[in-house]
Amino acid sequence: MGPRGIIVLVLGIETSCDDTGAAVYDIAHGLRSHALASQVEIHALYGGVVPELAARDHVRLLMPLVHQVLKEAQVTGSDIGGIAYTAGPGLSGALLVGAALGRSLAWAWQVPAVGVHHMEGHLLAPMLEDEPPAFPFVALLVSGGHTLLVDVLGVGRYRLLGGTLDDAVGEAFDKTAKLLGLGYPGGPAIAAAARDGDSNRWRFPRPMTDRPGLDFSFSGLKTYTRNTVPPGPLDEQTVADIACAFQDAAVDTLVIKCRRALEQTGRCRLVVAGGVGANTQLRERLKTMTASCGKTVFYPRPGFCTDNGAMIAYAGSLRLQAGEHEGLDFSVRARWSLADLSPVQQGRV
């Protein structure tokens, strides 16, 4: 806590899925430290996230990670003025680990704690970069569990423009990778394999782009991919060509819908966040598309597209500054719509 009870340093905790993240955000000077512990090796054995194993591993990893970020920020617990933890959406058991530790530390250190919406964390992650976007903007949120287009008027002021009717795009990447024997997590594996692919061998459909609207559907693309895979063992070139055709179709679909969302809302700024936002082809294509119509795209650095503690510390710092905090009890929400968040009053941030 700073002078007269003003919060200066916020500890952020992220445990919604299979990455354990922690960070210290300095409201006056920006990010002080952040660290991530990945559980990829454990879940890779099963080809996807096993919720119970994720929760147990968060228990093992989180406290040492908190020590690490405090040390790297050269502070101790008594310097922390507030705590932000991911309260949802995500895996309940995993979320409870972060929420329980965050709430307990806040009690021990006698500081306020706030539960943060994971997707609000993603959405605000570009604010941690040197040239942050100004409000309003359209946000494309693309992760393992979500594919959302959101009109962002301010912090907590979110109008949902479109979402997926079935699979999230990250999930489609993960399932396609599994189908091709590329392992977990699928997004980076597909992107790597696609680099050697021939984009002319197959052309996959761009779902729901031929009708108006901003919703998505990726399960058909997944099925189309499955039906394209030839029987028997796959040679490396075929895997690369299918990965390439899949990525082209997924990226194209996102680009078409982003262009449409910018046109419909009249916004001139696009923000892309969430794990799939780390995809190089998507980043390049959106840069070209926005430049061609005089608009600008903003991204977090690739490491802050995927789950991390820094975005939670930042989003939490805005809500703590606005006076939000939880009581002594705490709860998590496996499902939680962005549209249900309360606006943070302008001028209080």
**Which of positions 291-310 make contact with ligand KG4 (CB under 6 A)?**
306-307
Nearest to 123 by CA among 135, 141, 111: 141
Measured from the CB atom, is 112 or 187 closer to Zn ion?
187
**Smallest separation, CB 78 to ligand KG4 (Å):** 32
Indicate whether 14 belongs to the interface with ligand KG4 (CB under 6 A). no
Measured from the CB atom, is 70 or 189 closer to ligand KG4?
189
Q: What is the dihedral of CA 225, 226, 232, 235, to 10 degrees?
A: 30
Indicate whether 197 belongs to the interface with ligand KG4 (CB under 6 A). no
Write the binding mask 121 to 150 for ligand KG4: x where contact by CB under 6 A, - elsewhere. ----------------------xxx-----
State whether the Cα torsion 115-95-307-164 is positive or negative. Answer: negative
- Rounded Cα distance between 278 and 18, Å, is 17
**Smallest separation, CB 52 to ligand KG4 (Å):** 18
Among ligand KG4, Zn ion, none, residue 185 binds (CB under 5-8 Å by kind): ligand KG4
Among Zn ion, ligand KG4, none, residue 204 binds (CB under 5-8 Å by kind): none
Indicate whether 17 belongs to the interface with ligand KG4 (CB under 6 A). yes
Among Zn ion, ligand KG4, none, residue 186 binds (CB under 5-8 Å by kind): ligand KG4
Instruction: Provide the 10 A C-beta neighbour count for residue 181.
Output: 12
Given a contact cutoff of 8 angstroms between Cβ atoms, the answer to whether 148 and 119 are in contact is yes
Nearest to 142 by CA among 287, 274, 255, 300: 274
Q: What is the DSSP letter of 26?
A: E
Structure tokens at 109: 């250190």
Indicate whether 89 belongs to the interface with ligand KG4 (CB under 6 A). no
- Helix, strand, coil % over all residues of the chain, rounded to 5: 45, 20, 35
The residue ranges that bind ligand KG4 (CB under 6 A) are 17, 143-145, 170-171, 173-174, 185-188, 191, 274-276, 278-279, 306-307
